[in-house]
Amino acid sequence: MNFLKAEWKNLALFNYEVDAKILEKYLPAGTEIDIWNNKCYVSLVGFMFQNTKVLGLKVPFHVDFEEVNLRFYVKRFENGEWKRGVVFIKEIVPKKAITFIANTLYQEHYETQKMRHEIHENENTNTFIYQWKNDKEWNTIEIETKKDLSQIEIDSEAEFITEHYFGYTKIDEKTTFEYEVTHPRWEQMKVLNHRVDIDFEKNYGSDFTFLQTQKPISVFLAKGSKITVKNKRKLQSVPAKQKLYA
């Protein structure tokens, strides 16, 4: 049985170029940093979980909810091919049961906060807003888009950001959890405007304080789709094939 089935909808992706060295301590054993056009990325991502089932069951009051995460991109060489995946620095959701299950079973880095979202549609544009509250302050990410959908081009930056089909979790220096995420290729909406109003240090720690004054190098809105998260697999003492950065 799959661990989770759901729909991921209206994914707002804010992408920052960073020095790969700051991510080394978060890197799971057996993986290495994945780069695109000589750039190392972290992404701030907000989206909706809808029609969520955990182990085949809908958990009352845990079917539709927001998530905001900070992630970076990795790859792992196995059986003659590269697997491309993501590693989460933190995932914020408004549901304590989701946090408990993910942190207990997958040893992920979920955190429960009060959250809300808005979608505004008019004749020509859509606006997507995701917010979460820590202490007394609301954090906000917002994207305004055109309404038309378009394909994400092969070998594009948007494809690199959206087409990673594995999740990796660092358990210790020698142990990694791997899980597969399946979904069709996504379509995107052209981004017209965006806004990021969050406290990076309060949310993600001092390693990411510098993002407070850094602008994203790209912003995308992916429409999303049905997804499946498969059961985890433990990888132990698996060295990375090589490093791609000094």
Domain of 211: which CATH number?
2.40.400.10
- What does the pLDDT read at residue 246? 37
Structurally, the chain folds into a number of domains equal to 1
The tokens 């207990």 sit on which residue? 104
This prediction's pTM: 0.93
Residue 241 lies in a domain: no
The distance between the two most distant Cα atoms of the chain, rounded to a whole number of Å, is 55
- What does the pLDDT read at residue 14? 99
- The domain in which residue 175 lies consists of 4-236
- What does the pLDDT read at residue 242? 46
Q: Measure CA 194 to chain center.
A: 18
Handedness of CA 99, 100, 101, 106 (dihedral sign): positive
Residue 193 lies in a domain: yes
Residue 245 lies in a domain: no
CA angle 1, 169, 26 (to 5 degrees): 170
Burial of residue 181 (CB within 10 Å: 0-12, 13-18, 19+) is middle
Enumerate residue ranges in the chain where pLDDT < 50. 242-246
Residue 172 lies in a domain: yes
- What does the pLDDT read at residue 237? 63
Residue 95 lies in a domain: yes
Residue 19 lies in a domain: yes
Residue 117 lies in a domain: yes
Residue 244 lies in a domain: no
- What does the pLDDT read at residue 245? 44
- Concatenating the DSSP letter of every residue in the chain gives --SEEEEEEEEEEEEEE--GGGGGGGPPTT-EE--BTTB-EEEEEEEEEEEEEETTBPPTT-SSEEEEEEEEEEEEEETTEEEEEEEEEEEEES-HHHHHHHHHHS---EEE-EEEEEEEE-SSEEEEEEEEEETTEEEEEEEEEEEEEEEPPTTSHHHHHH---EEEEE-SSSEEEEEEEE-PPPEEEEEEEEEEE--HHHHH-GGGGGGGG---SEEEEEEEEEEEEPPPEEEES---S--S--
pLDDT digits 0-9 by tens, 157-204: 999 999 999 999 999 999 999 999 999 999 999 999 999 999 999 999
Nearest Cα to 164, choosing from 147, 152, 146, 149?
A: 152
The tokens 């958990």 sit on which residue? 59
Distance CA 33, CA 17 (A): 13
